[in-house]
Amino acid sequence: MRILGIDPGLGITGYGLIEAAGNSVKLIEAGIIRSNAKDKIEKRISEIYKKVTLLIKDTGPEAVALEEIYSHYKHPKTSVLMAHARGVICLAVENQSVELVNYPSTRIKKAITGRGRASKEQMQRTVTSLLGLGKMPGPVDVTDALALAIAHANVCAHKLL
């Protein structure tokens, strides 16, 4: 099963595509989608929408795993900006008729590391190890996206048992 994990962000959206078969996962492609902070919000979300749509068309995932919005009381604006990106990603997935699944970050962390409050570094090390990579993949946005895809693969594998 091809699973595309997406870590939504207005400035940087990370993505990671894996192929999952049983308990094994293989990295197919990973990267980031950027929007220009100098552009107006409508142009930024339009670019994210277009790039995610093209990514889905090019990679053909069977499911997209997307991080749910979270809000920290010290940074409420962050969740609003993330929501803009997340909304157009949901629209792109729906318009491509791909299954969309949503996971909170704490559930992903627990599924990947065993701890719902794992650090970014722990997540990066664990994802790197699970995919059998020699070095950590890209920025943390990529690692988070890959963690989403791997966690969804595990959910699917357990539903089959």
Annotated catalytic residue within 7, 19, 39, 121:
7
Residue that has been written with the tokens 């009381």 in this structure: 73
- Residues with Cβ within 8 Å of 106's Cβ and at least 6 positions away in sequence, in order, are 116, 117
Beta bridge partners of 101: 65
Distance CA(14)–CA(139), nearest Å, equals: 8
Active-site residue identified among 29, 42, 67, 144: 67
Find the angle CA(7)-CA(12)-CA(18) to the nearest 5 degrees: 40
What residues form DSSP beta bridges with 34? 12
Whether 67 is catalytic:
yes
- Annotated active-site residue 39? The verdict is no
Query: Which residues sit opposite 108 in a β-bridge?
Result: none
Complete DSSP assignment for 75-108: -HHHHHHHHHHHHHHHHHHHHTT-EEEEE-HHHH
Comparing C-alpha atoms, which of 102, 130, 101, 137 is closest to residue 114? 130
* 141 assigned to active site: yes
**Which residues are the active-site residues?**
7, 67, 141
